[in-house]
Structure 1
Amino acid sequence: MHADHNWITTPITPDLLRGALDLERTERGLLPHRLPAWARAQCADPQLAMAEAQPSGVRLVFRTRATAIELDTLPTKQVYVGAPPRPDGRYDLLIDGRPGGEASVTGGNTLTIDMTAGTAEKRPGPAGTLRFTALPDGVKDVEIWLPHNETTELVALRTDAPVEPAPPTGRKVWLHHGSSISHGSNAASPSTTWPALAARLGGVELINLGLGGSALLDPFTARTLRDTPADLISVKIGINLVNADLMRLRAFGPAVHGFLDTIREGHPRTPLLVVSPVLCPIHEDTPGPSVPDFGDPGDLSGLSAGKLRFRAAGDPAERAGGKLTLTVIRDELSRIVEQRRADDPNLCYLDGRELYGEADFAELPLPDKLHPDAAAHRRIGERFAALAFARGGPFAPDGPLAADGPLAAELRETGRPGTLS
């Protein structure tokens, strides 16, 4: 702790946090979760446990005159055997909604993952401190976005002026669920994942339930979405079901219906957008599972060079037996939404290739064959905001089917809307 400030320690309480659905009291501090405890108790999958405890979209939000801020945290850092060290998780500072700095925390626990053996070992480590100094004087709203890819226990918050919860913004709450791309894999920072960028462009408050490797139509996730207050909801469905080779077409359709039915139990008329997968060439017509492509030991594209890539381990011929591909999933999602819209006019469909398609892949290829890079995250966020939040979009104030909305006019004329349906 620096001694050149008269530090005030403020307890980290729920009213200073946004984007978390549960807060666990630990020996060291407070651990944000993105699934409630009852949901976590219904699944023993370590991948889900890791993903939901990584605070994508979770941020400390407060009002203060402080010009210096210190935050003690205890991160859990992932170390992959045979790969170079991953960069420390990034914390983004926003002041009155504008970028104001970035920082990282060293130390912390380590989770050593051996992908060849399928094992993980956790070792304890010390908490660390991040600092933001020389901030502008005067009353301001401060947001500290926690690392989207690093489990983070909040230990202590210190400032050189008093802190109070920021007043409600009055903005609508957007609740989003998706896979690792929605979680933020390969994004540059927590405030530049595509959902975070889209939320800022759309002027909404984000709750991000993007769960890396874990968008699997789990009933407890549907109930979590059902029970979470929200004004706008989107669900991005598909890629993880192929990654995990989890179900066949016979199970997929009813599972999607059940997932949407459950959400509608708590949000019967909330605008609900179903988004199919973005382009992923290895799985467009080839089923999963997705497996690490370690490459030849002498191949610089292998894990030894820190450039892990993935490949599709399925056989295209297996589609005849009901195995899922992204093409199959998009067709089925489009059919399901079209069928349900007869009784649910607030339901819409977005083909994920409108967010990232063939031309985008040619310009901004997926570095590991599965996940977009930072530039593609920005493009996806901008595209989503333009399609969903702009006038005529499903999340716009006029709504997709408002009497004077363009989608409504197109529906009246053709019976089918265009990009969004």
Structure 2
Amino acid sequence: MIDNIKPKEATSIINSLVSGVVPKIGVQHITVGRSEEINAFISSLEDVKNGHSMAKFWIGDFGSGKSFMLHLLNTVALKQKFVVSNADFTPDNRLYSNDGKSVILYSAIMDNIAIQTKPEGGALQTLLEKWIEQVITKTAEDNRISLSEIRNDQYLGLIQNSIMKMVNEITEVGGFDFGSVIVKYYEGYIKGDELLRRNALKWLKGEYKTKTEARQDLGVREIINDSNFYDMLKNFCKFFVSMGYSGFMINLDEAINLYKISTSAAREKNYEKILSIYNDCFQGKISNLLINFAGTKEFLENERRGLFSYQALKSRLETNKFETLEIRDFAQPVIKLTPLDHNEIFVLLKKLKLIFDFNYKTELNISDDEIFAFMEEMFNKPGASEFLTPREVIRDFLNILNIIRQNPAVDKKQLFGDIEISDERPDDLVLLDSIEEI
């Protein structure tokens, strides 16, 4: 059996992979062939813990394991006491915009904040209340007031002043409004005013649409918007570190959606924002921040639409010229994910069979030889060399296990023979590729 796996993790792994998505929890139990990348990443985390910042670009074909890698990085970072968050680029959100698309991305990041005790996200409120309790404790100690007494209304102003003082020490742009909203959250927290707490969280998550509404509800002058959301992320990074966390790691997946932005001016503005983040991280303008981008080779290297179309990024992100397939450099900003080989996929499928049995409390009769036979059928099908991805291999394997579980007498060879290979790339990307070739 897989060591130390929890029933919740097993269910998440099976249900997610059958659906063609990466499980939010338990990915460490199905990791194969990525030890060098993980060891290098752990070294990077140590640098970020020590006050450095960095941006990493995880590049691979569709279905090659980029999203899986980001979830694995989460598991590693959470154990190192990082606050982590994940968000996907979509047609409706991006890094730069003037119509609300950037603040939508920010809100997704804030919704998905996770810590080790809440690895599935939604941890912002927990972190906020933990920080407030730290302020209450320190203020009580500094003023020689008991912890029970300092929560009384007569000391409300004292705690408010402490909150503002501590926020001002750790923030830069937008710090006053940031502190004022946390003061409002504290008022709701201490008085049991749920509406006030919800409104404060709404502001911190970038969900207010107008300054007027925010001023009416909270008495603040500004809201989080497309132009200041990145400054607020940097404030939160400092906020988390002040609580004793190692740093803040943000994963941004599906970067191909930036590549697919139709107008070159809008794409360039987004790439300019990536350059700004890159420079902030590597020039020491911010501490304890790690941002991971995940995208395809086209997103990185296409010189008409990709990052390489922006010369300043191309000069920073070109691969180490001394790197080969055998001699890798995992310290550089761009990490290219090589496909799993057949032996690694075999090991992965064996692990999945064990997890499947654990999840369904069964013991399916499928041997190593039959797993090999399944793989031979998959990899020898027409189109396999061009289109077959680990995602499709995994999904077909689990679907077959589900059929066998519910129909024990089924002919496995016939199941294997029914496998078909399809091109899983999105239609719009295939069209873009065709246009680029013209």
Tell me which interval the TM-score lies in, with the shorter structure as reference length: under 0.3
TM-score, normalising length: structure 2 = 0.23
Relative contact order, higher structure (CA 8 A, sep 6+)? 2
More strand per residue: 1
TM-score, normalising length: structure 1 = 0.24
More helix per residue: 2
